Amino acid sequence: MFDINKIRSDFPILSRKVNGQPLVYLDNAATSQTPNQVINVITDYYTRLNSNIHRGVHKLSQEATEAYEGARKKIQQHFNAAHTHEIIFTAGTTESINLIASGYSSILKKGDELVISALEHHSNIVPWQMLCEKTGAELKVIPMTQKGTLDINILDSIISNKTRLVFVNHVSNALGTVNPIKEIIAKAHNVKAEVLIDGAQACPHIKADLQSLDVDYYVTSAHKLCGPTGVGMLYGKEALLNKLPPYQGGGEMIATVTFEKTTYADLPHKFEAGTPNISGGIAFGAALDYMNDIGFEAISAYEAELLDYATTALKELPGLKIYGEAPEKTAVISFNIEGIHPYDIGSILDQMGIAVRTGHHCAQPIMDYFEISGTIRASFSFYNTREEVDRLVEGLRKAMKMLQ
């Protein structure tokens, strides 16, 4: 039973007021809110378990280690990875991507080709540009269409025997487009290329099955999934992770150290130098527990209804244009109102307690394609309501009267 009132009561921030108005939080694509069930786990760590992990023989260290490694197991099971040691804790999606880019800097050579899509977040563009500058590899781009989808029809002409790596987001953060990643992965594997999927925007809405997808690398951040900031996941196939060098040097990631030579620890510790975000990792597992208790099928169905309702309501506003109308998309609506700058709309909505995102959403090539400076982005989660959509529409009407 999807009980929206019970769910909303789990999120303390949803009961606060902003500028004297009840908060309407529609910036979920940037970061989701955190329920008491996750906040309590963080509090419990610092009040009952606070200790470093893996190295201690005392009780606190053992209990903290058990909780942290238990969270890794939850993540492995949630995403259906083959092995727990294929799950690497990172600071988030950006660090996960940079870890892989760093590893391939010693593998790629001049003449190799990397493929990204036109729908990528900057964190899935810039590291690969930097990698190409270091190695002499060439970056190629899968183009997009006016609907905000990828032009998959020409993918076969872009991926070739020179392609070594393909990078695509599962869902566009700017438009909500769900990309056909299974087809892309299969085509890449046909030419023996490896694939990294940026799952940051998909994971709050879609439960990815990594073995079914046969993806080589998959990355995400806990703060998109009702978890804390500063922690995320890199999944990689065991054989591929084993061939990559460590990303950082330090404690924990070593097997032996002498002044003559250092040998590295086995997975996953080879990539986890230093003291990690222990409470964050444990809370990541708790956030997945929370969302799985609600059920991703129920979440998806509810958000789809909310997206349809919001899309219909917004289209009734004069001069409003929606960017990104893919047949399959998550609960994100990116739009502009003719003659009004997105920032001005966002600022007025904020005075009414309505939080939306304005700008290029770290996806400037998408904005360049549409020949705009940015958009207003309303992104919904399973704890949002139709009443909040109505507040958004009412707020936009007031803003338009003030600014036109």
Q: Which residue ranges form the domains of the chain, and what is each CATH number? A: 4-30+295-403 (3.90.1150.10), 39-292 (3.40.640.10)
With CA atoms as reference, report the closest residue to 310 among 219, 388, 399: 388
The per-residue pLDDT for 55 is 80
Taking residues 66-80, what's their average pLDDT?
98
Joined together, the tokens standing for residue 114 give: 């990397």
- SS3 of residue 15 by DSSP: helix
Taking residues 286-297, what's their average pLDDT?
98
Contacts of 312 (CB under 8 A, 6+ apart): none
Taking residues 286-290, what's their average pLDDT?
98
Confidence band for 13, pLDDT divided at 50, 70 and 90: very high
**Is there a contact between 372 and 293 (Cβ–Cβ < 8 Å)?**
no
Please report how many Cα atoms fall inside a 13 Å half-sphere around the Cα of residue 206, on the Cβ side. 22
**Which amino acid, one-letter code, is at 132?**
C
The per-residue pLDDT for 1 is 75
Clarify whether 132 is annotated catalytic: no
**352: DSSP letter:** T
Report pLDDT digits (tens) over 48-71.
999 999 988 999 999 999 999 999
Q: How far apart are CA 153 and CA 142, in angstroms?
A: 10
Strand-pairing partners, residue 144, are 150
Joined together, the tokens standing for residue 354 give: 């309505």
Q: Cα-flanking dihedrals φ and ψ of residue 129, to 5°?
A: -65, -45
Taking residues 251-279, what's their average pLDDT?
93
